[in-house]
Amino acid sequence: MQIGFRWYGEGNDSVSLKQIKQIPGVKTIVWALHDMQAGEEWPMEKILEVKRQADLYGFNIDVVESVNVHEDIKLGLPSRDVYIENYKKTIKKLAKVGVKVICYNFMPVFDWIRTDLFKEHEDGSTALFYEASKVNDIDPMELVNKIGNNPDYTIPGWEPERLENLMKLFEEYKDVNEEDLFNHLQYFLEAIIPVCEENDIKMAIHPDDPPWPIFGLPRIITNQENIRRVLKLVDNPYNGVTLCSGSLGSNPSNDIVSMVREFADRIPFAHVRNVKVYENGDFIETSHRGQDGTVDIVGIMKAYHESGFNGYIRPDHGRHIWDEKCRPGYGLYDRALGIMYLLGIWDSLES
């Protein structure tokens, strides 16, 4: 097992490599070129620059999160082939600097969704929060109108300047259902997995967050059965999953311990974090400690350990504590505490 830490890059992250170096156990920087648009081929000079910076601190750059997938690939449009070719070129370049895992997702339009980025916990810390009634079963056009008519009504990702483009995308996804999305994912995987195999890079799909359809858009990486199906779309060890305990854990009927046991040899990369789910479907992110949320973190780490897991694990969204100013979910302090908790469990299992 190797511990990684997500880093958004020089000038783009409140956390420095120097600080990350002082967290026990971290060997891997989980990185990406965040200024690249989905579908673009990544330039070698920029990749090499990240490698140079990581080398200065003795980190490896084995895990990329994410090389984003262009919407035309998810929509299954004819133009997807151009973007798939670019994706392949990026895979080949990443292999040249030693990358071993590419994390990506197949969520239409939105990546993770929350309704409040700084919801206060009882102890005064803040964390990402999802208020179910603001998202579940909401018609996107109704929401567009609501936001347009009331400047005080905000949802992250629905900023007024994005609305026009969002409406266009909703229109394009109108006739795309879950089966279509599985087919489009299969087409993508069939094209890239042979290139991954040749270049020894594992693809690791990230679950949908939250793991259910939102705003009428289909979502498929939501539960054990669907993950099993994705792994069979192209049944090859290079087609894997980024098992994210927090994303899957916001649906309490997901048994993540069982997923770790079933998929262990197809999980090159894991996100381990906790989330507290309420009866009405709201959820808030908590410290990584098992007792603080709904997810069985100790059981998950035990399942990885018993499966002989030798992939990469990173802590995920932390709370914002000790007045830290940082990207939502991506401060230094709570994620560092998370690492110490995960390592504490792991070390005691080892002994």
Options 13-21, 103-111, 178-186, 225-233: segment touching ligand DNO (CB under 6 A):
103-111
Do residues 26 and 19 touch, judged by C-beta distance below 8 A? no
Closest approach, Cβ 339 to ligand DNO, in A, equals 16
Q: Does 112 bind ligand DNO (CB under 6 A)?
A: yes
ω into residue 78 within 30 of 0, thus cis? no
Q: Distance between CA 135 and CA 214 in Å, rounded?
A: 7
Q: Which two tokens stand for residue 276?
A: 């507290």
Map residue 251 onto helix, strand or coil.
coil
Confirm or reject binding of residue 188 to ligand DNO (CB under 6 A): no
Annotated catalytic residue, options 70, 288, 317, 320: 317
Q: State the catalytic residue, choosing from 173, 330, 333, 341.
A: 330
- Report d(CA 28, CA 36) in Å as an integer: 21
- Going by their DSSP bridges, the two strands 60-65 and 126-130 should be labelled as unpaired
Q: Based on the shown chain and the rule CB under 6 A, indicate whether residue 206 belongs to the binding site for ligand DNO.
A: yes
Residue 244 annotated among the catalytic residues of the structure: yes
Query: What x-and-dash track marks residues 295-324 binding ligand DNO by CB under 6 A?
Result: ----------------------x-------
* Choice from 55, 111, 178, 200 touching ligand DNO (CB under 6 A): 111
**Shortest distance (Å) from residue 226 CB to ligand DNO:** 16
Q: CB-hemisphere CA count at 13 Å for 31?
A: 28
Q: Does 104 bind ligand DNO (CB under 6 A)?
A: yes
Q: Which of 65, 71, 72, 116 binds ligand DNO (CB under 6 A)?
A: 65
Gyration radius of the chain's alpha carbons: 19
Regarding beta strands 283-285 and 312-315, do their DSSP bridges make them parallel or antiparallel, or are they unpaired?
A: unpaired
Cα–Cα–Cα angle for 217, 222, 227, nearest 5°? 125
Least Cβ distance, residue 148 to ligand DNO (angstroms): 27
Looking up tokens 């939501």 gives: 222
Instruction: Please identify which of the residues 87, 103, 244, 333 carries the catalytic annotation.
Output: 244
- Rounded Cα distance between 57 and 69, Å, is 30
28 binds ligand DNO (CB under 6 A): no
Structural tokens at position 307: 């499966």
Catalytic residue, from 72, 208, 209, 316: name it: 316
Q: Does 326 participate in catalysis according to the annotation?
A: no
C-alpha 325: how far from chain center: 22
Q: Is 316 assigned a catalytic role? A: yes
Q: Which of 28, 60, 66, 223 binds ligand DNO (CB under 6 A)?
A: 66
Residue 103 makes contact with ligand DNO by CB under 6 A: yes
# chain residues binding ligand DNO, by CB under 6 A: 10
Nearest-approach distance from CB 272 to ligand DNO, in angstroms: 12
Which structure tokens are listed for 124? 């005064």
Min dist. Cβ of residue 347 to ligand DNO (A): 25
Q: Per CB under 6 A, does 105 bind ligand DNO?
A: yes
To the query of whether residue 175 is one of the catalytic residues in this protein, the response is no
- Whether 330 is catalytic is yes
Catalytic residue among 271, 304, 312, 334: 271
283 binds ligand DNO (CB under 6 A): no
Please report how many Cα atoms fall inside a 13 Å half-sphere around the Cα of residue 318, on the Cβ side.
Answer: 23
* Separation CA 257–CA 279 (nearest Å): 21
Show the tokens assigned to 34. Answer: 């965040």
Nearer to ligand DNO, 140 or 246 (CB): 246
User: How far are the Cα atoms of 2, 136, 230, 242, 288 from residue 330, in angstroms, in the given order?
Assistant: 19, 25, 29, 18, 13
Nearer to ligand DNO, 62 or 65 (CB): 65
Active site members: 206, 244, 271, 316-317, 330
Residues within the interface to ligand DNO (CB under 6 A): 65-66, 103-105, 111-112, 206, 317, 329
